[in-house]
Structure 1
Amino acid sequence: MFTSDRRSASFMVDWMNGKNPIVAMIERFGEEDFRDALEDPEMREKLSEANQQYVERVAKEKELEEEYNSNLTDTLANLDKLQEEEGLTDEDVAEVMEFLSNIVRDGIVGKFSLESMAMARKALHHDENVAIASEEGEVRGRNSKIEEKLRKRSAGDGLPHLDGKNDTAPKREKQPATIFDQARLAR
């Protein structure tokens, strides 16, 4: 468009530099084309439809902006509540909001990173995963207690184990000291 009609490029430059677009168009293209368009009934219908679309878009944008502002107020209140309940620092809150903003931005353009998808999957199954990990830890703890009980003590050096039930030396029967003592016991 710019190479086929240099006036188009000049019009865009004027507009970019802050000139009123209608004034810039008339300066570059002349008033006659616009007058002819406004007097043509078919063109007037097209302009009316275009204007109606513009009015509807502006109304929708205003409605969305009001909804956005209302939701933003609620979001900020929820952030304050979260920060207070969980004792988060301002940096923690900023990190959470940055992460959420990145997800929203990715969603708008239809591009989700592997990290975002993995985080969403983990978040959806967090409670279930914590319960499984807790149960596995409990089973491991019980297994280690059982293994400890089953572990055999080494033969040792003959001294009694101080932490065991057999902490005293076994009693020996007295042997007769002399032959006479043996004869007396034999009767």
Structure 2
Amino acid sequence: MTTTLTTSMKLSQYCDQFRIIHSIFVKISFPYIFLIANIGFITNISTVLLLPKNFITKNMKNKWALIALALSDLLFNTAFLIRGIHDIFKGNYAHLCLVVSFLSHLAELLSACYTVVFTIQRYTAVRYPLEAAAHRRSSPILSLLFIFVFSSIFCFTLCHRNIYVECHEKLKLI
């Protein structure tokens, strides 16, 4: 107990320095948000436009998982950009906060699920190369759509159950 109190008393003298560092990070975060969002837009739009072309991906069976992953990243970049603009103008629009929260949760969940789908596809192609080459599978579009629908329902429910304070989400963890 005395060690904890001594340590916390020593840290309190550095509180002003931490506030200065925090204010510097807040000032550089807005240009950083826009830089990352723009790089994400350029690369993900390029991916979505180029992967469907047959001259680039002639025999690539899992291009749809990569396209879905790029679309989920575009969704996240959009939410990231809306959030940055909202924070600059210091608005407090309840519906916009819900939309940004929904889009960011959906993009995060879809990105994780689509990465798992792509990884499973690549694993089976590497682990069982002859079977994967000989076996003509159906398009993974239905499974990707299934993931999208259930992720949307989950994120919609999550966003409506959480509390928002100054447009920042407070998760209710049970």
TM-score calculated relative to the size of structure 1? 0.26
The structure whose Rg is larger is 1
Higher RCO structure (Cα 8 Å, ≥6 apart): 2
